Amino acid sequence: MSGKDPKDMRPATRVANAGRRKEWTGPVVNTPVWRASTHLYEAEAARKAAGKSNADGGFFYGRRGAPTQWSLAEALTQIEPGAHGTVLYPSGVAAIAGALMAVLRPGDRLLMTDNAYDPSRSMATGLLKRFGITYEFFDPLDLDAYAKLFDEPVKAVWLESPGSLTMEVCDVPALTAIARENGAVSLIDNTWASSLGFAALEHGCDIVMMSLSKHVGGHSDLMMGSASAGERWYRALRRTSQELGQVVSPDDAALAGRGLRTMAIRLEKSTASAARIAEWLSKHPQIAQVMCPMLPDDSAHALWKRDFTGGCGLFSFVLSSDDAEASGKVADALQLFGIGYSWGGFESLALPIFPHDHRAAMVSPTKPAGEAGARPAIRLSIGLEDTDDLIADLAQALEKLDNQ
Ligand SMILES: *Cc1c(COP(=O)(O)O)cnc(C)c1O
């Protein structure tokens, strides 16, 4: 790698170059797997000196990582505009817990977007509650109601945009500005867009979290998470993570580092493919609504276009059928889509979803206000297969609903 700073490169060039320090890679291209618990010192004086700094890049002991993990963390910092540093966690959920625990103390109040990933909600209602933290879920599209919540002190706001399952894009600059005026810290789950599609810190967030199991890994074969921040909150994240004894395996860090090299091109392809499939579904007679920010008719599209520089392959749609089993029938009839959790891999997935089961403050598109029954819905993760093959597969699966 040349001496050019990756921060001065355009995103696709940055993901190809980030984190590849010569002292970590040696003569090879990607940082190899440095598998170690014990780090050996030349002499006692060197051991004493090593204990003085706990920054990434200094050999000390395996729990502080080694070049494979440092390289990945540095790469993620270099592709995250405004970040001073990145902490790696053994999963995305561990990153959510690590970030919230770095900010919150007993007695604090947390506001969480109502369309947050379900385990984030469980963190508020479970772990954090047990530690004396109170919470409220808010509708991220109702700025007035949100602003009123600051009549009582708020320590932190947890955002996710687009929201899990239902894909609403919220006004992150407006929400974080209100938080800041009231002395609250803004955190965001940016797994959907990644740092390539949404520069969260530059849109007002203090801490940005990602599940690396999704786009960064990209091949459905590893679990990892990250949190990045400016200097102040990076220190707090790092201290809490070290107190909790968290470390990621060098084998997984090497896989994630390899996935990162192709992330820009994979996202470009799956975003374009998802946009075409969403458009096709939106004209299909069996579909009541498509929830995809890339779709020009979607209510999330204007904010997505204003604030985001990219999308991804993940979106949802609601069937017009009133048979609660219809989403399962479609998923079973699909031949190219696996049924499974997670997303962001090279392979396409379909997951029947029930968003109304996980909402306290918002009306769900699958269960509009006042409606008794709930409409069946499916979330798709579009992979790297040929788009026309995926459309043909969806067409034959939806046709089976007609023939019942
Ligand atoms: C998957 C996911 C997570 C959790 O990540 P894991 O690596 O599976 O623990 C967090 N947020 C969102 C939006 C996710 O989709």
- In the reported structure, the alpha carbon of residue 92 is separated from the centroid of ligand 1 by a whole-number distance in angstroms of 5
Count CA within 13 A, CB hemisphere, residue 7: 8
Residue 89 bears catalytic tag:
no
Query: CA torsion angle for 27, 33, 38, 43 (degrees, to 10)?
Result: 10
The CB of 117 under 6 Å from ligand 1? The reply is yes
- In the reported structure, the alpha carbon of residue 50 is separated from the centroid of ligand 1 by a whole-number distance in angstroms of 35
- CA torsion sign for 118, 124, 130, 136 is negative
- In the reported structure, the alpha carbon of residue 169 is separated from the centroid of ligand 1 by a whole-number distance in angstroms of 18
Top-tier CATH class for 264-402 = alpha beta
The CB of 189 under 6 Å from ligand 1? The reply is yes
pLDDT at residue 365 in the model:
84
What is the fold of 8-261? Aspartate Aminotransferase; domain 2 (3.40.640)
Q: Whose CA is nearest to atom 4 of ligand 1?
A: 92
pLDDT at residue 403 in the model:
62
Greatest Cα-to-Cα distance within the chain, rounded to the nearest angstrom: 78
Beta bridge partners of residue 86, listed in sequence order: 228
Instruction: Kindly give the parts of the chain with pLDDT less than 70.
Output: 1-3, 403-404
Question: pTM for this one?
Answer: 0.97
Query: Is it true that 8-261 and 264-402 share their CATH fold?
Result: no
The CB of 164 under 6 Å from ligand 1? The reply is yes
* C-alpha span between 329 and 342 (Å, rounded): 20
Domain extents for the chain? 8-261, 264-402
With beta carbons less than 8 A apart as the criterion, state whether 174 and 142 touch. no
With beta carbons less than 8 A apart as the criterion, state whether 126 and 169 touch. no
pLDDT at residue 246 in the model:
96
Q: Whose CA is nearest to atom 9 of ligand 1?
A: 92
* C-alpha span between 251 and 253 (Å, rounded): 5
User: Catalytic one among 56, 64, 114, 117?
Assistant: 117
With beta carbons less than 8 A apart as the criterion, state whether 230 and 201 touch. yes
- DSSP class per residue in 233-293: HHHHHHHHHHHTT----HHHHHHHHHHHHTHHHHHHHHHHHHHHHHHHHHT-TTEEEEE-T
